[in-house]
Homo-oligomer: A and B are copies of this chain.
Amino acid sequence: MDRAACERLDRECPLAHCRERFTLPDGVLYFDGNSLGALPKATAADIERLIRTEWGQGLVESWLDADWFFLARSTGDAIAPLIGASAGEVIVADSTSVNMFKLAAALLRRSEGRRRVVAERGNFPTVTYVLEGLVGLFGERFDLALADTAQIPGAIDERTALTALTHVNFRTGAMHDMARITAHCHAQGVPVIWDLSHSAGAVPLALNRWGVEYAVGCTYKFLNGGPGAPAYVYMAESAIAAHEPAVTGWFAHADQFGFEDRFRPAETIEKCLVGTPPVLSLRAVRHGIACFDGVTMEGIADKLRSLSDLLIRLVAERLADCGFVLATPRQPAARGSQVSFRHPHAYAVSKALRAENVVVDFRSPDILRFGIAPLYIRHVDVWDAADALARIMAGERWKAHVTDAPDPVT
Contact = CB atoms under 8 A, between A and B. Distances in A.
Interface in A269-297: 274-282, 284
Given A263-B132, A278-B278, A282-B228, A36 B60 contact: yes
Contacts of A226: 51, 55, 279-280
A342 to B, nearest CB: 15
Nearest to A48: B48
Say which size band chain A's interface belongs to: 35 or more
A48 B59 contact: no
Contacts of A59: 25, 28, 30, 32, 36, 38, 359
Contacts of A134: 246-248
Given A125-B261, A249-B95, A284 B274 contact: no
B227 A62 contact: yes
Given A55-B36, A261-B128, A275-B96, A136 B409 contact: no
B130 A249 contact: yes
Contacts of A39: 51-52, 55-56
Nearest to A49: B44
A410 B257 contact: yes
Interface in A43-63: 43-44, 47-48, 51-52, 55-57, 59-63
A363 interface: yes
B122 A261 contact: yes
B51 A275 contact: no
Contacts of A361: 60
A285 to B, nearest CB: 10
Given A55-B36, A259-B125, A69 B408 contact: yes
Contact of A97 (B132, B228, B250, B262): B250
Given A61-B409, A109-B137, A284 B280 contact: yes
Q: Copies of this chain, how many?
A: 2
A279 B227 contact: yes
Interface in A65-121: 68-69, 94-98, 101, 105, 109, 121
Contacts of A68: 227-228
A47 B43 contact: no
Output the residue of A43, A124, A248 with the most chain B CB within 10 A: A248
Nearest to A72: B228
B133 A247 contact: yes
B277 A228 contact: yes
A409 B247 contact: no
A364 interface: yes
Contact of A281 (B44, B231, B262, B281): B281
Contacts of A94: 94-95, 98, 275
Given A125-B260, A220-B276, A52 B44 contact: yes
A122 to B, nearest CB: 7
Interface of A: 23-25, 28, 30, 32, 35-36, 38-39, 43-44, 47-48, 51-52, 55-57, 59-64, 68-69, 94-98, 101, 105, 109, 121-122, 124-126, 128-130, 132-134, 136-139, 146, 218, 220, 226-231, 244-251, 253, 256-263, 274-282, 284, 354, 359, 361, 363-364, 406-410
22 contacts: A23-B52, A24-B56, A32-B59, A35-B60, A36-B55, A39-B55, A109-B139, A121-B261, A125-B250, A125-B259, A126-B275, A128-B263, A129-B263, A133-B245, A134-B247, A136-B246, A228-B279, A230-B278, A231-B275, A259-B363, A259-B364, A280-B281
